[in-house]
Amino acid sequence: RITNKVLFFPSEVACVEHIFSPTLPHSHVCSLPHGVDTSFSRLLRYILSACYSLDLCLFSFSNMDLSRAVLLLHSRGVTIRVLTDKVYSAISGSQIGVLRKAGICVRCDASAVHMHHKFAVVDGRMLITGSLNWTLTAVQSNMENIIITEEPDLVQPFVKEFCRLWGLNDPA
Amino acid sequence: RITNKVLFFPSEVACVEHIFSPTLPHSHVCSLPHGVDTSFSRLLRYILSACYSLDLCLFSFSNMDLSRAVLLLHSRGVTIRVLTDKVYSAISGSQIGVLRKAGICVRCDASAVHMHHKFAVVDGRMLITGSLNWTLTAVQSNMENIIITEEPDLVQPFVKEFCRLWGLNDPA
Ligand SMILES: [Zn+2]
Ligand SMILES: [Zn+2]
């Protein structure tokens, strides 16, 4: 059976260290709640499930845990492509510069209009999309939604649109 | 087979009069292209397919064609509920006051955080959701996406979340 899930935000705030370091002892020094599954921890797990590729098309990207997840996938050899809005890539707290420095391929949409998407495609197979910008405010404060689906009729148009936008913004 | 469709924006600009008035002669005075199916005309048709109910959970709502579609459904006896963000409901160009004056039931989320959703549920059966705010800029300028799905695993959580938020914002 294919995945069709919905996550709502704001997410409860809880420690996500065990997602990045599964062998981490529960006794580490940290004041956040532990052992709690939240919308945000589920989102991180879906992203970290990437084995081959992760395509990100994001209006804004400042959330440090999401950045950490992308960097971890990059270190595992997963092919990452990041397409983002030019204006928002330069604002304070943006993680776009960090990803670039790590060697991740980033393209900024420089058209006069906003690239307002907030979607990710995992392994060309699973779509993560919704209202949620990849910021701390969106995750912890706003009322937001995210859909995770493997339904081909929904995933394939996003795969195709990502390729189109990626090609349009080829800096070469 | 259940509906699973994706629409991307910006939409081409084309006349949508025939959607509101199917008997309209093509000779009406208008400088826009005619007979063109666009992302926006498709979105209007999905919304206008409502027979019984339309639940809207929208951060911002200033698009006059979308407002016209909602008013048309209201005049047909479709039960409309609109949940919107308090701050954005009061900005210039917002259609929220127009809907209220027409007798449509509107509730504003007054919490300190943003109600950033942009989803609609048609007849409790079809979900319309994505990055697209119901504004003119979003439709005609931004790069945006909308999913239309009847997949129960995706629709039902949104139906439930709408009811929860609607109850939370009961003014009584
Ligand atoms: Zn901890
Ligand atoms: Zn016309």
Q: What are phi and psi of A150, to 5 degrees?
A: -110, 10
The boundaries of the domain holding residue B72 are: 4-12+38-168
Nearest to A147 by CA among A127, A123, A167: A127
How many whole angstroms from A155 Cα to the centroid of ligand 2?
Answer: 34
CB-based burial, B15-25: b 16+ in 10 Å, e otherwise: bbebbeeeeee
A82 within some domain = yes
- Amino acid B18: pLDDT: 87
pLDDT digits (tens, 9 = 90+) for A131-152: 999 988 888 889 999 999 999 9
Cα–Cα distance between B69 and B24 in angstroms, integer?
16
Q: How far is A59 from chain B, CA to nearest CA, in Å?
A: 10
A142 → closest Cβ in B5, B116, B161: B116
Phi, psi torsion values for B59, nearest 5 degrees? -60, -50
Cβ-Cβ contacts under 8 Å for A136 (sequence gap 6 or more): A62, A63, A64
Task: Identify which ligand lies nearest to the alpha carbon of A24.
Answer: 1
Work out the mean pLDDT of chain B and round it to a whole number: 92
Substitution target in A147, A148, A163, A169 with the highest count of B β-carbons within 10 Å is: A147
| ∠ Cα B125 B126 B132 (to 5°) | 150
d(CA A53, CA A162): 13
Q: Which of B6, B115, B118 lies nearest to residue A158, judging by beta carbons?
A: B6
**What CA dihedral angle connects B71, B72, B76 and B80, to 10 degrees?**
-40
Residue A87 covered by a domain: yes
- Name, in order, each residue with C-beta under 8 angstroms of A96's C-beta and a sequence gap of 6 or more: A61, A82, A84, A89, A90, A106, A108
Please state, rounded to an integer, the average pLDDT across all residues of chain A: 92
Residue B33 domain-assigned (yes or no): no
B47 within 8 A of B63, measured Cβ to Cβ:
no
The verdict on residue A27 lying in a domain is no
Q: What is the pLDDT of residues B117-154, one digit of tens each?
A: 999 999 999 999 999 999 888 888 899 999 999 999 99
For chain B, which ranges sit under pLDDT 70? 24-27
CB contact under 8 Å between A157 and B118, yes or no, is: no
Is A45 part of a structural domain of the chain?
A: yes
Per-residue confidence (pLDDT) for residue A113, from 0 to 100: 83
Centre of ligand 1 to C-alpha A28, Å, is 6
Q: Are A17 and A24 in contact (CB under 8 A)?
A: yes
Which residue in B has a C-alpha nearest to residue A128's C-alpha? B130
Of the candidates A6, A113, A119, the beta carbon closest to that of B158 is on A6
Contact B3, B126 (CB under 8 A): yes
Domain count, chain B: 1
Read off the pLDDT of residues A27-48 as tens digits, 9 standing for 90 and up.
Answer: 678 889 988 999 999 999 999 9
Residue B81 lies in a domain: yes
The CATH number of residue B65's host domain is 3.30.870.10
Please check whether residue A98 is in contact with residue A67, taking contact to mean a CB–CB distance below 8 angstroms: yes
Those residues with Cβ within 8 angstroms of residue B38's Cβ, 6 or more apart along the chain or in another chain: B11, B12, B13, B14
Residue A48 belongs to a domain: yes
The pLDDT value recorded for residue A172 is: 74
Predicted confidence (pLDDT) per residue in A57-102, tens digit: 999 999 999 999 999 999 999 999 999 988 777 777 899 999 999 9
